[in-house]
Structure 1
Amino acid sequence: MNGPTGVFAKPDRFAALVAGSLALVLYVFTAAPNVTLLDSGEFIVAAQHFGVPHPTGYPLWTIGAWLMTLLPLGNAAWEVNLFSGLCSALAVAVFAGLGSSLLRWFFAPLGLSDRWSALLGGAFALAAGCSVPVWSQAVIAEVYGLHALLTGCQVAALYVWVREGDRWRGFLAALFFFALGMSNHHLTLSLAPIPVVLLLLVRPGAAAEVLLYLGIIGAAVFWGFGLISGEPPTLDASVRTVLCALLVAALFRLFRGRFVHGRLLPRMALAVFLGLLPHVYMPLASSTNPPMNWSYARTRDGFFYAINRSQYQGTLSSQLLRSVGRVVGATPRETDPAPQAGEGSGEPSRFQAFALFSTMYWGKLTSSLSPALLVPFLMAFTALRLLERRQRAMLLAGYLAFFLAAFFQPLFDRASDDLSGWLLQMPYHGYAFLLFALLCAIGAARLQLLCAGRLARLGAIRFLWLAIPGWALLVNASACNQRGHWFGWEYGAGMVGPLPRDAVLFGGTDPGRFVPTYMIFGESPQPARHKRDPGFDRRDVYIITQNALVDPYYQRYIHDHYGPARPRPRGIWERWLGRAALYPRNPLDLPGDPEIRGAIQAELEAAERKGELGEVSGDSSRLNAAVAKQIWERNKGRHRFFVEESFPMEWSYPYAIPRGLVYEIAPDPLDALPGEAVAADREFWSDLVRRFLADPAFLRDVDARRSFSKLRNTGGNLYRHRKLLDEAELAYRQAIELWPASGESLSALCEILTDAGRHGEALELLARGQGIDPRSRSLAQLRQLVLARRALAAEIRVLEESRRAAPRNRDVFIELLQNYQVTRRFDAADALIRDGLGAFESDPVVLQECINHRVVRMQWSEGLELARKWDALDPKNPEVKFMLAKFLHATGAMPEFYAAAREAIRLGGIPLRERFAAEPLYRPLRAEPQFRALLDAGLPGLPDLPSGGAPPGP
């Protein structure tokens, strides 16, 4: 291993040491000095206080970062940021050493020197370390540097196994690092096929037996997952998988006679067990009542909620059921994938979205490194004909690993190709960029050998590759350098610092809940010498996440923090962790499960009365807002409440007073906003926007710009609710100055401007936004809307005058309604229907147009009223009955729905019955006896129905 001909010789270790050291110096120098925006605050608090961050819990990262905070380096946020840099630098070092060793193995017999192997391996790894996905995550509190490191270790271990011939220690190490990676991030799954492919290519004689062992171990892990899940379908699928694995093992033994590599199975199982062992941290940490206790992992169901990613779409259990479960015949119909977007849906299909993202991805990759690197990336493939079998296997595995790392997650997520889509996906791709650089190093060495032969005059090109790290450094510094960026701290201090004592803050967006969480639990308890403001201590403030209040695990979490039954610290360990001093002394009056269920039920019943049941039941923000209101009502006499808004809590707007970065919910509704509050708000934001726009560091910091823009947008919403359009316009304009591509602010301001006939101003603002985010479909659609409003403005004025002159003219009424819809002047359309429909109540054509408008507006109750009128005019029409049934279902009038559905089928026969069976809206009803009785007569069986959605138009 360590001799001149070993797998990793002195030149490889030198390349790793130099590249890793240079990367570490860069990351330390450019690290954020404190908390940053997005998830940073959450991760810092979890690491600082032995806690559990959001699913999947990231236990390995949290353990490592927690250990880092025990070192006497200064502020805890700075220490955790350094941990990210350390992990990322080690990842660069691993890929540099791996690249150097691969080049020696591939090309030393062809004349490539050890020195150039080390130079190329180190240079390309360092270049990847200066790319945006690696560098940007190495200077903040994030988990992706550790993920890149574990991926590098897994690939390096597989490389050692390929080199060592009959020895299996490299393969066992790769299994360990794969399982360890699963203890950090489920992105690790994207590289699961690589060991399988290498087994088939390198050890085909042993592949069947070792793949059987992998299947047995995987089945055992799946069985354990199923036992923890408490989900009968998952447990059933896991048991079937274990039985299938044992059956295959018995058949293998029967036909092959013996297991040649039988001693591998326990060693492989041990490697996987040890790699997954960090998960034990989560219930242990959760049981200590830490300030970051996502998923409440101290309980079995909470632990499963975390590792299963149950908070998000595409849970691990659903993926397993759709893949492994389908193979063993245990996939319930509910897990069938939703239908693909198709023509007329307004969204690209999965294939189209993937093609668009891929095009954008190659652009981001080459702009972050260099377009010139496409040449060595492709040239590496030409080396296949020069290599022997094991070398070819390693090169092919490298290409496969890159493409899986780059495109598996975007394909699964159906990632968009606009700026928001890239910013969401970008952190995942550090390991993909490192793999790309590894392949480029191989291609550069291949080019160098070509130039040394027939193209000797081009030999100097090899020195250009050594400049690639410098190029990447210069190109990406403005996007990645966080040195001196205190915007996260300013965000949190400006939000929490001015609050009155014992205030309650509802945090909504990621920075709006996680940065205050850090300021309260992370910054406040630290020694004064480690704080930017030595006197800052706001442990009296209560922080509650607006977006998770209906989540039972989150409810347990905040009850343990702020409820009257808060657990008392137990034993020396919890007292050493300082749990007793972290939370406010006085408890809040928090609703329990019965009260929360009551609030949700009341909201659903109110929505049903308004005909909005379908909309509200599928919108958790409305239900969360109802619970937030309940908390406010119970405690407003003892505490003042403030909001950082994610989704609008419209119930609070009549009580809202702008207070700097947040707004206050007054105890009683206000007839009007206090003039002094409006003036203070205007002055506060004018000064802040002026200061930030004069700061080049702020202008380079996309996360800071987006986060502060969102805060100012909330002020615009408050003023717009009060019909203070001048103040709303100013607030939205300031939000757009902070982030010109803010779709939320642009949409609101464009509506204000076009209502006033100021279409040119709206188009100028959109042009600025599209200059930053040219691929944004929402901004493009908004521009088309503004153009349509401008084009139809004169026509609408003529139609309005014609209607005033002839209010019973059907053609004018319909055309005006359609124009209001095209220009999205929905309030005007509502008023037109309300005031003018009386003249046309017996006209089916007008009723049809009005019903279409109600569907677009999701005004099911109003639409039902119109549908009843049409049904009264034409009671024998099965199509009208079919439409009526949809509105009855949407408003929750189920007895009438079944009556209308039976009548529609009676009038329309089997074609109508089949339409009811195929209608996505009725998918949730398919298990109900009444619905099956409605359809089964005359039908051989229900088809597999696509997943549901909002009620479509008639």
Structure 2
Amino acid sequence: MQNGLQRWESWGTAVLTFLVYFLTMPRDLTWQFSSGDGGELITAAVTLGIPHPPGYPTYVLLGKLWSFLPLEPVAYSFHIFSALCAAGAAGLVTVTAKKQLSTIESNSSGWLGIVPGLLFAFSSLVWQQAVVAEVYALNLLAVAAFLWALLGKRPSHLTGLLLGLSFTTHLTSLFLLPLALLLTPTKAWGQLAVGLAIGASPYLLLPLLADQGSPVIWGNPTTLTGWWWLVSGELYQPNQFALPLTEFWARLGSWLPRFGLQLGILGWGILVWYGRSLRQIKWLGLVGTAVLYLIYAIFYNTQDAIVLTLPAWLIFSLCLTVALPRTGKWSAILPGLAVLLHLSGQTGANIHNVRAQAEAILNAAPPDAILVTAGDPDIFALWYFHHVEDNREDIILVDNMLFAFDWYRQAVQRHHPTLRALEEDNLTRFETVNGLNRPICRVRLLPEGEADPQLDCSRAIIE
């Protein structure tokens, strides 16, 4: 009876969460909430390609299966995919919290387990990533599944399998490895390692994906060096702990208001935390892991580094479980408060209409034009409309930032054998030589949509 009630409460959390996400998600491709990679990820999934490092093979494979559903536009269907993943994560947080509640205080109200799940689901950052086409919702589902297995003392090979799978959804899941070793008996480390290897095995499929003919293939994973460059995220390693100290306080000041409710609830949880629970190695390990995520994110030198804190809020939500028996029914106020505080911020996903700008450029481009984009997210958006929705099959897309990579120019050459001057990183020469036969257009989409997109086809660009 109790197990049945737990299942209904976890499913109820997931269904309620999904319904709220569904009602607040954008209906088309958007760049809001740091989701500029959405066009690339969708295109890679639909065409069985390889998106930016580390390649996200699990997202690609699941996304390919998801793309067979008759949902239009395709970008909207991938928003729904994210919502289902995040809602599933919320359901797993609930069932995990209920299990932990039963070990803390047997007489506590069973429904209290839904509080951490709903608090996690309706925190502003989680909610935002749950309604856009990005990898973070799938990563949260994998992390939640791993914690469900680890804290629920499931078989170690299952725990390792889910941990390895989380590695394939985002590399920051490596921060979970010390926690897994800490809470897994030493004699079971071998089982954990076997499961982990199997869970991470989708990375072995990258060489196969590289041969599928997708227009989105980062790197050259058919060689061991190229595979490791991709899987290790070598391209982004210079961003790690690279935030200038002069920018630290500015970032901290801009992030704190985003986490006001979470930090307030966390402080409340610490105040009412049982002393014996505070000293338990399990809770110390969880809090330490969440703090590790936060430290990594705050010193990661990119504008959207805040999304790297997402697993921390999942873990903190679980940690609040030990405070719930002390507060009882009053804790039910917290999820409602989260919805009220963060609902207004969700309307932003529909503000910027990427389709309007992309179609304005594609419709105005001359026949057989080469469109030279200005880096992501411009090239990612145009990839989506060109390759997924088959808009303007006569044009060729070339990105001026990716042009610096040998593997990119080689991929462009394979897909367009008639193009010349792709042997070296010299975009000016490329435009000059190919501009003799095709119109060359410089294009740029505008992130905020405050003006018309830029399309300059006035010259076969000769500097």
**How does the TM-score come out when normalised to structure 1?**
0.45
Per-residue deviation at 1:371? 5.9
Q: How does 1:854-865 map to 2 (within 5 A)?
A: none
* Greater fraction of residues in helix: 1
8 Å CA contact 1:507–1:645 kept in 2: the answer is: yes
Q: Which residue of 1 aligns with 2:456?
A: 663
1 CA distance for matches of 2:318 and 2:310? 13
Residue 434 (structure 2) pairs with residue 641 (structure 1): no
Residue in structure 2 matched with residue 280 of structure 1 by the alignment:
204
Rg larger in 1 or in 2? Answer: 1
For residues 399 and 182 of structure 1, what CA distance do their matches in structure 2 show?
A: 20
Q: 1:53 aligns to what SS in structure 2?
A: coil
Taking a change above 3 Å as real, the CA distance of residues 642 and 12 of structure 1, as seen in their structure-2 partners, is: same
Secondary structure (helix, strand or coil) at the match of 1:644 reads strand
CA change 1:67–1:544 in 2 (3 A) is same
Say which SS state the counterpart of residue 187 (structure 1) adopts: helix
Q: Give the equivalent residue in structure 1 for 2:63.
A: 65
Change (3 A) 1:446 1:359: farther
Gaps of 5+ in 2: 446-450
* SS in structure 2 of the partner of residue 558 of structure 1: helix
Deviation digits for residues 363-397 of structure 1 (CA, Å, limit 9, x no counterpart): 4212xx366414432135x313269x8xx232222
Aligned to 2:342: 476
Q: 1:629 deviation in Å?
A: 0.7
Pick closer, same or farther for the CA change 1:523–1:474 going to 2, 3 Å. Answer: farther
Helix, strand or coil: the match of 1:33?
coil
CA contact (8 A) 1:376 1:441 kept: no
CA contact (8 A) 2:124 2:258 kept: no
Task: Show CA shifts across 1:737-761 (max 9, x none).
Answer: xxxxxxxxxxxxxxxxxxxxxxxxx
Q: Corresponding residue for 1:630?
A: 429
**What are the within-5 Å matches in structure 2 for residues 784-933 of structure 1?**
none
> Which residue is 2:74 aligned to?
76
Match of 2:292 in 1: 404
8 Å contact kept, 1:145–1:430 = no
Alignment correspondent of 2:372: 506
- TM-superposed CA distance for 1:284, in Å, is 1.2
* 3-state SS of paired residue (1:539): coil
Q: Answer whether contact 1:136 1:480 (CA < 8 A) is retained.
A: yes
Counterpart pick for 2:315 among 426, 435, 439: 435
Quick one: distance in 2 between partners of 1:190 and 1:365? 21
Question: 303, 310, 314: which one pairs with 2:227?
Answer: 303
- Deviation string, structure 1 residues 42-91 (Cα, Å, up to 9, x no partner): 01101111111011000011111111101223322122221111111101
Deviations 1:266-297 (A, max 9, x none): x4443122111111332112101102111133
Q: 1:364 aligns with which of 258, 267, 282?
A: 258
Deviations 1:281-318 (A, max 9, x none): 32112101102111133444332221122322349xxx
Task: Give the structure 1 partner of residue 168 of structure 2.
Answer: 183
Contact 1:365 1:433 in 2 (8 A): no
The residue type paired with residue 118 of structure 2 is L
Distance 1:58 1:143 in 2: 8
For residue 448 of structure 2, what is the aligned residue in structure 1?
none
CA drift at 1:668: 6.9
Q: How well do the aligned residues superpose, as a CA RMSD in angstroms?
A: 2.8
Distance 2:437 2:207 in 1: 34
Aligned residue pairs total 454
Name the structure 2 match of 1:521.
Answer: 387
Counterpart among 363, 372, 378 of residue 497 in structure 1: 363
The correspondence of residues 676-687 of structure 1 with structure 2, limited to 5 A, is: none
**Relative contact order (alpha carbons < 8 A, sep ≥ 6): 1 or 2 greater?**
2
Q: Percent identity?
A: 22
Report the CA distance shift for 1:370/1:271 in structure 2 as closer, same or farther (over 3 A): closer
Equivalent position of 2:39 in the other structure: 41
Q: Deviations over 1:493-537 (max 9, x none)?
A: 12222111111111113121111111111122xxxxxxxxxxxx3
Question: Distance between the aligned counterparts of 1:146 and 1:497, measured in 2?
Answer: 34
- TM-superposed CA distance for 1:485, in Å, is 4.7
Q: State which of 299, 321, 333 in structure 2 corresponds to 1:467.
A: 333
> How far is 1:539 from its partner?
1.4
Output the CA distance in 2 between the equivalents of 1:95 and 1:44.
Answer: 27
C-alpha separation between the residues in 2 aligned to 1:131 and 1:495?
37
The corresponding residue for 1:549 is 403
Return the alpha-carbon distance in structure 2 between the equivalents of residues 20 and 279 of structure 1. Answer: 29
Deviation (angstroms), 1:101 = 1.8
Residue of structure 1 in register with 2:274 after alignment: 383
Matching residue of 1:348 = 245
The DSSP-based 3-state class of the residue aligned with 2:397 is strand
Secondary structure class of the residue paired with 1:543? strand
Which residue of 90, 93, 96 corresponds with 1:92?
90
SS across alignment from 2:274 = helix
Q: CA deviation at 1:360?
A: 5.1
Alignment of 1:293-332 (within 5 A): 293-314=217-238
Which amino acid is the alignment partner of residue 637 of structure 1?
L
Cα distance in 2 for residues equivalent to 1:514 and 1:548: 11
Moved over 6 A (4+): none
Q: Which residue does the alignment assign to 1:23?
A: 17
Does residue 1:271 correspond to 2:195, yes or no?
Answer: yes
Match of 1:900 in 2: none
Deviation, 1:138, is 1.2
List aligned pairs for 1:513-592, cutoff 5 A: 513-524=379-390, 537-562=391-416, 564=417, 587-592=418-423
- Structure 2 Cα separation of the partners of residues 370 and 430 of structure 1: 12
Cα distance per residue 1:445-492 (max 9 Å; x no partner): 2333xxxxxxxxxxxxx33x3232232223223333466556121221
1:124–1:468: 8 Å Cα contact kept in structure 2? Answer: no
Q: What SS does the corresponding residue of 2:146 show, helix, strand or coil? A: helix
CA contact (8 A) 1:491 1:515 kept: no
- The 1-side partners of 2:317 and 2:91 are apart by 13
| Counterpart for residue 7 of structure 2 | 13
Say if 2:151 is the partner of 1:151: no
